[in-house]
A = this chain, B = another copy of it.
Amino acid sequence: MININENFLNLQDSYLFSTIAKKVSEFQKNNPNKKIIKLGIGDVTRPIVPEVLKAMHKAIDELGNIETFRGYGPEQGYDFLKNKISEFDYAKRGVTISPDEIFVSDGAKCDCGNIGDILGEDNIVAITDPVYPVYLDTNVMAGRSGKYNNKTGKYENIIYIPATAENNFIPEFPNKVPDMIYLCFPNNPTGTTLSKSELKKWVDYAKENKALILFDSAYEAFISDEDVPHTIYEIDGAKEVAIEFRSFSKTAGFTGVRCAYTVVPKELIAYTKSGEKIELNSLWNRRHGTKFNGVSYPVQRAAEAIYSDEGQRQIKENIMYYMNNAKIIKEGLQDAGFTVYGGVNAPYIWLKVPEGLTSWEFFDKLLNEVNVVGTPGVGFGPSGEGYFRLTAFGTKENTIEAIERIKNMN
């Protein structure tokens, strides 16, 4: 008899974005003349830059010519892209990551989920709270979560590390030592960062406890402060304890183009239950080669084009456009008396909802009174209650208007 993976039955249905969509569409139906401004979704809106378009067009023409046609590429990605990544994202920051430590993929979401394939089922998982739900759900599927507790809103075997205003959004070491620690900085959803010294504490903690850090660096391109590390490998010893996930989705507007990469250093060691040391690089290489067939060739050429001088200039223009929106939101909300976090090194603004309201109540208030849509913090985890996320990915005009409306809200 064919059995399912019963861990899937432990998954909680996420009604977050579907509930938002339903509420928005109901409101619009009842108020057809109101112009709703959506600052809820974490998707980019600026078009792909000309250098990237040019590279993709060229790559496609190559595929149409028998002399330059390419079929299967290396599962790990073409050298032309991995060399650029190694040089620009690492060597230029004083970090040595060799091309065979880089695995190009079609998305950081896929990699964050699939990485669990090479790790033991009994590892104890820690996530920060609030959190990007993929870290949690993929571990539920893999059997690392235990049962869900409806009262606490938590899974029994998952360690939740709160990151809230109380601890300045700096996650503290939990009481129980985890084996896998997901860290995302600049953070989604809070938009906050860790300084080098704060991140170093986590690297040292992981070394001391033979734990693995899964470092999601999807928002690296938005960093402007000097002391914020662009890669975890800027921290001494991180290569021995951390896997880094990077994405072109937000960096270059590739959410629909699909390209990302994962770094698994050769120094990174995990263990068998009997204590034998195993290189994770070779395990991931085997997984990637067996269950993946490489990223679309024109897409890899698109990613390569980002690293040209002109490509860099063009994508930075978009980043600045979004970060100007972030500034508008942050300063506007502060003027309006809100307490606001993030928005400096990340495209997310995390605000404290007014005293006495839950994050869903604040969602309803914003939608009904000023027709602005954001995301209730509790949707990202229990510690997100009392907070609300706005994103900088709208147009400048809409962003200004939304903030003006909020300012004038009763």
Chain A residues near B (Cβ < 8 Å): 1-6, 8-9, 11, 43-50, 53, 56-57, 60-61, 63-66, 69-73, 106-107, 109-110, 113-114, 117-123, 134, 137-138, 141, 179-180, 209-212, 253, 255-258, 270-273, 275, 278, 280, 283, 286-287, 290-299
Given contacts A8-B286, A141-B287, A258-B296, contact A2 B47 (CB under 8 A): no
Please name all residues of chain B whose beta carbon is closer than 8 Å to the beta carbon of A106 when the two chains form the complex: 106, 258, 293, 295-296
From B3, B11, B61, B120, contact of A286 by CB (8 A): B11
From B61, B110, B270, contact of A292 by CB (8 A): B110
Given contacts A56-B60, A271-B1, contact A294 B258 (CB under 8 A): yes
In the complex the two chains form, is B72's CB within 8 Å of A119's CB?
Answer: no
In the complex the two chains form, is B71's CB within 8 Å of A47's CB?
Answer: no
Nearest neighbor of A255 in chain B, beta-carbon distance: B71
Nearest neighbor of A134 in chain B, beta-carbon distance: B290
Q: Please measure, in the bound complex, the distance between the C-alpha atom of A3 and the C-alpha atom of B121, giving whole angstroms.
A: 8
Q: Could you give 28 example pairs across A and B, Cβ below 8 Å?
A: A1-B179, A1-B209, A1-B271, A2-B123, A2-B179, A3-B270, A3-B271, A4-B272, A5-B119, A6-B272, A9-B272, A9-B278, A45-B71, A47-B65, A48-B60, A49-B64, A69-B256, A71-B253, A106-B293, A110-B291, A117-B141, A134-B290, A141-B290, A141-B291, A256-B296, A258-B293, A296-B296, A296-B299
Q: Please measure, in the bound complex, the distance between the C-alpha atom of A299 and the C-alpha atom of B302, giving whole angstroms.
A: 13
In the complex the two chains form, is B53's CB within 8 Å of A4's CB?
Answer: no
Nearest neighbor of A56 in chain B, beta-carbon distance: B60
Please name all residues of chain B whose beta carbon is closer than 8 Å to the beta carbon of A297 when the two chains form the complex: 256-257
In the complex the two chains form, is A47's CB within 8 Å of B66's CB?
Answer: yes
Would you give the shortest CB distance from A328 to chain B, in whole angstroms?
A: 19
In the complex the two chains form, is A113's CB within 8 Å of B179's CB?
Answer: no
In the complex the two chains form, is A53's CB within 8 Å of B48's CB?
Answer: no
From B53, B212, B295, B298, contact of A2 by CB (8 A): B212
In the complex the two chains form, is A271's CB within 8 Å of B4's CB?
Answer: yes
Given contacts A6-B272, A291-B114, contact A257 B64 (CB under 8 A): no
Q: Could you say how many copies of this chain the assembly holds?
A: 2
From B60, B70, B107, B118, contact of A60 by CB (8 A): B60
Nearest neighbor of A60 in chain B, beta-carbon distance: B56
Q: Please measure, in the bound complex, the distance between the C-alpha atom of A278 and the C-alpha atom of B56, giving whole angstroms.
A: 43
Task: With a 10 A CB-CB cut-off, give which of A3, A114, A121, A253 has the most chain B CB atoms.
Answer: A3
In the complex the two chains form, is B179's CB within 8 Å of A283's CB?
Answer: no
Nearest neighbor of A260 in chain B, beta-carbon distance: B293
Nearest neighbor of A180 in chain B, beta-carbon distance: B2
A1-B275, A47-B66, A49-B64 given; 12 more Cβ-contact pairs under 8 Å: A1-B209, A2-B271, A3-B123, A4-B278, A45-B66, A45-B71, A46-B69, A48-B64, A53-B60, A71-B253, A106-B293, A117-B141
Please name all residues of chain B whose beta carbon is closer than 8 Å to the beta carbon of A120 when the two chains form the complex: 2-6
- Among all A-B residue pairs, the 8 with the closest Cβ atoms: A3-B120, A113-B291, A71-B255, A43-B71, A2-B212, A1-B210, A107-B293, A256-B297
In the complex the two chains form, is B46's CB within 8 Å of A109's CB?
Answer: no
Please name all residues of chain B whose beta carbon is closer than 8 Å to the beta carbon of A8 when the two chains form the complex: 118, 283, 286-287
Q: Please measure, in the bound complex, the distance between the C-alpha atom of A60 and the C-alpha atom of B167, giving whole angstroms.
A: 45
Would you give the shortest CB distance from A259 to chain B, in whole angstroms?
A: 8
Task: With a 10 A CB-CB cut-off, give which of A60, A73, A298 has the most chain B CB atoms.
Answer: A60
Given contacts A4-B120, A106-B293, contact A44 B71 (CB under 8 A): yes
Would you give the shortest CB distance from A311 to chain B, in whole angstroms?
A: 13
From B61, B63, B117, B255, contact of A5 by CB (8 A): B117
Would you give the shortest CB distance from A117 to chain B, in whole angstroms?
A: 6
Nearest neighbor of A136 in chain B, beta-carbon distance: B290
From B50, B258, B270, contact of A4 by CB (8 A): B270
Would you give the shortest CB distance from A302 to chain B, in whole angstroms?
A: 9
Please name all residues of chain B whose beta carbon is closer than 8 Å to the beta carbon of A299 when the two chains form the complex: 296, 299
